[in-house]
Copies of this chain bind each other. A is one copy, B any other.
Amino acid sequence: MYTPWGYRGAMHGYEGHKDDLLKRLRRAEGQVRGIARMVDDDQYCIDILTQVSAVTKALENVALSLLDDHLSHCVAEAAAQGGPVAEEKLREANQAIARLVRS
């Protein structure tokens, strides 16, 4: 794999959004912990389900941000150079999208 970003070590397109991603992931972690506490406290199923839907949606949005950055940087750069690396990046991105759509 020989691309300029390859040896710069910046193998990720979310560089510019790292703080935002970390903040959202920590909030999601807290939400999951809160859901466990609700179960432990015997809270009402529907209220717990509402929280599970909320955290699932939040994680889905994290995934969409990551994918957006990935396509706009890693995949776009690989595509600009073409060849088997570009093909591999596209194949890999398409599989990640399929997993996301089906999850």
Contact = CB atoms under 8 A, between A and B. Distances in A.
Q: Interface SS of chain A: helix, strand, loop or mixed? A: helix
Contacts of A70: 45-46, 49
A102 B11 contact: no
Copies in the complex: 4
A44 B86 CA distance: 16
Contacts of A42: 9-12, 15, 18
Interface of A: 1, 9-15, 18, 21-22, 25-26, 28-29, 32-33, 35-36, 39-40, 42-46, 48-50, 52-57, 59-60, 62-64, 66-72, 74-77, 79-80, 82, 86-87, 90, 92-94, 96-103
Contacts of A52: 59, 62-63, 66, 100
